[in-house]
């Protein structure tokens, strides 16, 4: 966590004398999320982390990298002039960062975030001109 995102402290255990580092950050972000249907919801960091983790499932992406991604998004949100943001804007922030980290995680997140109507919409999104043979494993 860079210094701008929080406070880094060196501490010492009073029992054994071992030194260690802690990172502190602001936990409560006064931010309202405007959902697709227009209702407001309090910002929830864990909900964002959970969604990104699902996209990264079984990928070689360290949890620390996911936390850094969310920290970066939160810092960007805190710098905004408003306390309300559309969920689609947060989704775009996640997509732009995931694309740099892992292409498959990016496509997984996009498949949920973009709310495609069918497989053809998804193929168009990823630029796949070929129709995938769905019977390839059947004999």
pLDDT tens-digit series, residues 29-83: 789 999 999 999 999 999 999 999 999 999 999 999 999 999 999 989 988 888 9
8-45 b/e with 16+ CB inside 10 Å = b? eeeeeeeeeeeeeeeeeeeeeeebebeeeeeeeeebeb
Predicted model pTM: 0.69
User: Element (H or E) spanning 50, and its range?
Assistant: helix 45-55
- Each residue of 103-137: pLDDT tens digit? 999 999 998 888 888 888 888 887 765 554 444 44
Distance CA 36, CA 115 (A): 11
Q: Can you give the residue ranges of every domain in the chain?
A: 30-116
Closest CA to 27 of 74, 64, 72, 85: 74
């Amino acid at each position: 966590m860079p210094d701008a995102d929080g406070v880094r402290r060196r501490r010492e255990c009073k029992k054994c004398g071992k030194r260690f580092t802690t990172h502190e950050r602001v936990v409560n972000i006064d931010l309202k999320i405007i959902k697709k249907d227009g209702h407001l919801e309090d910002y929830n960091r864990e909900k964002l982390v959970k969604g990104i983790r699902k996209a990264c499932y079984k990928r070689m992406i360290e949890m620390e990298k996911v936390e850094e991604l969310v920290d970066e998004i939160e810092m960007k949100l805190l710098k905004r002039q408003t306390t309300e943001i559309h969920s689609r804007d947060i989704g775009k922030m996640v997509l732009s960062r995931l694309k740099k980290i892992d292409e498959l995680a990016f496509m997984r997140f996009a498949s949920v975030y973009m709310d495609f109507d069918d497989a053809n919409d998804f193929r168009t999104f990823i630029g796949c001109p070929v129709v995938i043979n769905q019977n390839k494993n059947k004999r």
